[in-house]
């Protein structure tokens, strides 16, 4: 308990120091040191915690919002094995990313660097808070803070219009999902009278959850759709590449997008009672996986390829959760967290060396950057699902779960995605690291501060895989044909990439021509981004303009008309008082006459 609190409190301490002591923040490296030391402490605490076996979940609560007859909302800590594992992943990736950033961003001015580390500390704190949250409200609080930090870090280079746009887009899109999330939380509270996971799980276990939770849980799931970039709210993630590369590594591996999957895993006992929602989750997940994989195939920006691969892998996780196998989803979340961080950091090293993120401007990097090349290859093999790397086992677990769930459609989509994944990842490898064309300049391997995190992650990617291969994980129940199938798919994908981009027996252009409709649509991102832009510009802003006009010229216009009417009525009455006694007498006479007549009529 103390360790968990320590892990949570250290990044917060770093954040408070950096936020409230401007000289420290402006010193840049000083702020970085504080951040790294604190998150390193967190990592140590998390690792220590992970080694200690845990019986029942540890729960501790404090009052946050009081109400008559007991607190309405509490804050606290809920520690179970899932949270333990997640703590290690988050602190590890955050620590390595912060270390790596020190070198990657060394040319930033000191105040900007300080700002960067301030956001990083807050980010680590928020994600740890989310992982440890004991109830939906606290989870939502940290959930939003994670979104805020992503917004701030994606927009870190706020002077670039593209970064500013991407940051805002990320915030808006995830916020759209959060509308569902928050309504879902309120509905759930009304139905069960509590936000607390322990209480809710207790109800679920006892089968005393009220009926008709499908809509509620669907709304809560919408939150995950936004955060974990599921179709149709996946649009923000590829654009989020506008942030510095280490930030992408953090967002894609352990924080932002992981939050959605983590939430579904955490609240799974509640999702388990609503099979309708699970089915939707599986189909949407599988569809997202396939859709993103096709878009990754036509992308030339190395970071965007990785971004689409993240969307795609998140689809896998959600599909597994939808197939009622949260453990498979969580396992894939963990392994993916490690090798995706690895891939992004390695890509960052390549970009750093070449000065561009376009794979067509890279080439034969393997010779110039052997270290980066090796770790990138490790990551790629893991992502493609090649034995015995970590990704193989988790992906197989997902496929196996989906098959067991009798979800044939999603299974086929995921299988096809596996093939595409290997193809597009090896396309990057062949074009950027082995291709014939050579970019100008003399790219060189990353400095040690960047290389160490790469090797650590590379080692872990292999080690996790080997450990599962040797010992057999709890989620790994080998099934001969499935193993063969997934290895075959990965092999086929690699082969396609090899013959097209390395051996060049088939020209990429011919391949594109053969699949023209898909190619055409994928390059335009299936028009989804455009549709959002159209809705935003046309409908929301248009409607806003209309309301603004109505308010100014109709609602307020009526008032002004009334006021102008009063003024001119006063003006008219003023004219009667012209100062001539005859007119007044005439008026009095008329009035008298009118009164007399009136009195005669209404006697």
Partner 1 sequence: MTPVPVLSIITWAPFGGALLIMFTARHRPLAVRLIAAVSTGISTACSLWIFFTYDRDAAGFQFYEKLSLVPPLGIAYELGVDGMSLLMVLLTSVIILAGVFASWTLTVRSQEFYALLLALVTGVYGVFVSLDLFILFLFYELAVLPMYLLIGIWGSTAEVRPRGIFAWAYRATGVGTKEYAAMKLTLYLLFGSAFILVGIFALYVNGGNASFSFLEAEAAGFDPIVQRWVFLAFYVGFGILAGIWPLHTWSPDGHASAPTAVSMLHAGVLMKLGAYGVVRLGIGLLPDGAIEWAFLVGTIACINIVYGALAAMAQTDLKYVIAYSSVSHMGFVMLGAATLTEPGLDGSVFQMFAHGIMTGLFFALVGLVYEKAHSREIFRMGGFGRTMPGIATAFTIAGLSSLGLPATAGFVGEFLTFLGAWRSAHPWWLVPAVAGTLLTAVYILRVTRQIFWGPESREFHRLSDASGPEWVALAILSFVLVVFGMLPAVAVGPVDTAVVPLLLRLIR
Q: Which parts of 18-77 interact with partner 1 (CB under 8 A)?
A: 63-68, 72
**161 interacts with partner 1 by CB under 8 A:** yes
Q: Is the Cβ of residue 149 or residue 351 nearer to partner 1 in the bound state?
A: 149
Shortest Å, Cβ 546 to partner 1: 8
Q: Is the Cβ of residue 367 or residue 548 nearer to partner 1 in the bound state?
A: 548
Shortest Å, Cβ 356 to partner 1: 22
Of the candidates 122, 124, 127, 75, which has an alpha carbon nearest to the alpha carbon of residue 262?
127
Let me know: does 235 contact 529? Beta carbons within 8 Å: yes
Measured torsion, CA atoms of residues 235, 95, 346, 369, in degrees rounded to the nearest 10:
160
DSSP string, 41-86: HHHHHHHHHHHS---SPEEEEEEEE--SSS-SEEEEEEE-HHHHHH
Alpha helices (runs of H) in 355-407, residue ranges in sequence order: 365-368, 370-384, 390-404
Q: Which stretch binds partner 1 (CB under 8 A): 202-210, 301-309, 349-357, 564-572?
A: 564-572
Shortest Å, Cβ 64 to partner 1: 6
**Tokens representing 89?**
């992943």
Exposure of 23 by Cβ count < 10 A (0-12 exposed, 13-18 middle, 19+ buried)? exposed
Q: Distance (Å, rounded) from C-alpha 155 to C-alpha 268?
A: 33
Shortest Å, Cβ 287 to partner 1: 25
Q: Is the Cβ of residue 142 or residue 433 nearer to partner 1 in the bound state?
A: 142
Let me know: does 93 contact 341? Beta carbons within 8 Å: yes
Measured torsion, CA atoms of residues 330, 75, 200, 54, in degrees rounded to the nearest 10:
50
Angle at 302 between CA 227 and CA 466, to 5 degrees: 75
Token pair 């949270």 in the structure block, residue:
83
**563 interacts with partner 1 by CB under 8 A:** yes
Q: Is the Cβ of residue 466 or residue 554 nearer to partner 1 in the bound state?
A: 554
Q: Is the Cβ of residue 189 or residue 459 nearer to partner 1 in the bound state?
A: 189
Of the candidates 102, 105, 107, 181, which has an alpha carbon nearest to the alpha carbon of residue 141?
181
Q: Which of 463, 561, 590, 597 binds partner 1 (CB under 8 A)?
A: 561
Which H helix or E strand runs over 171?
Answer: helix 161-192
**586 interacts with partner 1 by CB under 8 A:** no
Shortest Å, Cβ 222 to partner 1: 12
Q: Which of 212, 409, 548, 587 binds partner 1 (CB under 8 A)?
A: 548
3-state DSSP call for residue 135?
strand
Exposure of 436 by Cβ count < 10 A (0-12 exposed, 13-18 middle, 19+ buried)? exposed
Query: What are the residues whose beta carbons fall under 8 Å from the beta carbon of 146, sequence distance 6 or more?
Result: 123, 126, 127, 130, 227, 255, 256, 259
**556 interacts with partner 1 by CB under 8 A:** yes
3-state DSSP call for residue 196?
strand
Shortest Å, Cβ 52 to partner 1: 30
Q: Which parts of 176-235 interact with partner 1 (CB under 8 A)?
A: 176, 179, 182-183, 186-187, 189-190
Size of the site for partner 1 (CB under 8 A): 61
Shortest Å, Cβ 163 to partner 1: 8
**Tokens representing 600?**
């005669």
Q: Is the Cβ of residue 152 or residue 354 nearer to partner 1 in the bound state?
A: 152
Q: Is the Cβ of residue 164 or residue 512 nearer to partner 1 in the bound state?
A: 164
Of the candidates 539, 293, 530, which has an alpha carbon nearest to the alpha carbon of residue 427?
293
Q: Which stretch binds partner 1 (CB under 8 A): 86-94, 488-496, 504-512, 553-561?
A: 553-561
Q: Which parts of 368-427 interact with partner 1 (CB under 8 A)?
A: none
Q: Which stretch binds partner 1 (CB under 8 A): 316-324, 435-443, 458-466, 560-568?
A: 560-568
Shortest Å, Cβ 260 to partner 1: 17
Q: Which of 171, 271, 403, 433 binds partner 1 (CB under 8 A)?
A: 171
Q: Which of 145, 214, 273, 485 binds partner 1 (CB under 8 A)?
A: 145
Q: Please report, as ranges, the residues that interact with partner 1 according to CB under 8 A.
A: 63-68, 72, 111, 137, 140-142, 144-145, 148, 155, 158-161, 164-165, 167-168, 171-172, 175-176, 179, 182-183, 186-187, 189-190, 536, 540-541, 543-549, 551-561, 563-565, 567-568
């Amino acid at each position: 308990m103390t360790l968990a609190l320590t892990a949570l409190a250290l990044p917060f301490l770093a954040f408070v120091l950096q936020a409230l002591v401007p000289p420290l923040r402006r010193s840049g490296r000083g702020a970085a040191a504080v951040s790294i030391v604190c998150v390193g402490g967190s990592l140590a605490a998390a690792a220590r915690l992970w080694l200690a076996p845990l019986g029942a979940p540890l729960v501790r609560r404090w009052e946050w919002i009081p109400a008559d007859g007991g607190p309405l909302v509490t804050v606290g800590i809920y520690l179970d094995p899932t949270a333990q594992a997640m703590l290690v992943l988050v602190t590890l990736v955050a620590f390595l990313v912060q270390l790596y950033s020190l070198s990657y961003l060394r040319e930033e001015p000191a105040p900007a660097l300080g700002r960067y580390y301030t956001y990083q500390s807050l980010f680590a704190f928020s994600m740890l808070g989310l992982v440890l949250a004991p109830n939906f409200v606290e989870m939502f609080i940290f959930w939003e803070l994670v979104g805020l930090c992503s917004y701030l870090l994606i927009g870190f280079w706020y002077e670039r219009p593209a970064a500013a746009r991407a940051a805002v887009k990320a915030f808006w899109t995830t916020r759209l999902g959060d509308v569902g999330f928050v309504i879902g939380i309120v509905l759930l509270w009304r139905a069960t009278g509590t936000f607390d996971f322990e209480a809710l799980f207790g109800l679920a276990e006892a089968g005393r959850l009220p009926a008709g939770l499908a809509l509620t849980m669907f709304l809560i799931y919408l939150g995950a759709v936004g955060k974990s970039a599921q179709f149709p709210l996946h649009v923000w993630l590829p654009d989020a590449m506008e942030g510095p590369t280490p930030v992408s590594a953090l967002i894609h591996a352990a924080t932002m997008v992981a939050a959605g999957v983590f939430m579904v895993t955490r609240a799974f006992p509640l999702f388990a009672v609503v099979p309708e929602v699970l089915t939707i989750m599986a189909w949407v997940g599988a569809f997202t996986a396939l859709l993103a994989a096709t878009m990754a195939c036509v992308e030339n920006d190395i970071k965007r390829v990785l971004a689409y691969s993240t969307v795609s892998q998140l689809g896998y996780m959600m599909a597994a959760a939808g197939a009622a196998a949260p453990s498979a989803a969580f396992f894939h979340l963990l392994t993916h967290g490690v090798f995706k961080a690895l891939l992004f950091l390695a890509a960052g090293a390549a970009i750093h060396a070449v000065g561009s993120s376009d794979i067509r401007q890279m080439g034969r990097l393997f010779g110039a950057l052997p270290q980066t090349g090796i770790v990138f290859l490790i990551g790629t093999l893991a992502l493609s699902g090649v034995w015995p790397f970590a990704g193989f086992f988790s992906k197989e677990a997902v496929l196996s779960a989906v098959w067991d769930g009798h979800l044939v459609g999603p299974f086929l989509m995921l299988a096809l995605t596996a093939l595409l994944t290997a193809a597009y990842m090896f396309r990057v490898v062949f074009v950027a690291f082995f291709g014939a064309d050579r970019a100008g300049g003399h790219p060189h391997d990353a400095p040690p501060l960047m290389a160490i995190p790469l090797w650590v992650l590379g080692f872990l990617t292999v080690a996790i895989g080997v450990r599962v291969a040797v010992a057999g994980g709890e989620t790994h129940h080998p099934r001969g044909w499935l193993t063969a199938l997934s290895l075959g798919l990965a092999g086929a994908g690699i082969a396609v990439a090899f013959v097209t981009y390395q051996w060049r027996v088939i020209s990429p252009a011919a391949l594109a021509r053969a699949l023209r409709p898909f190619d055409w649509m994928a390059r335009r991102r299936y028009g989804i981004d455009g549709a959002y832009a159209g809705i935003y510009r046309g409908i929301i802003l248009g409607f806003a303009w209309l309301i603004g006009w109505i308010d100014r010229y109709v609602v307020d216009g009526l008032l002004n008309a009334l006021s102008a009417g009063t003024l001119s009525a006063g003006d008219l009455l003023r004219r009667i008082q012209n100062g001539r006694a005859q007119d007044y007498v005439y008026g009095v006479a008329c009035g008298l006459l009118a009164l007399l007549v009136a009195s005669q009529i209404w006697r």
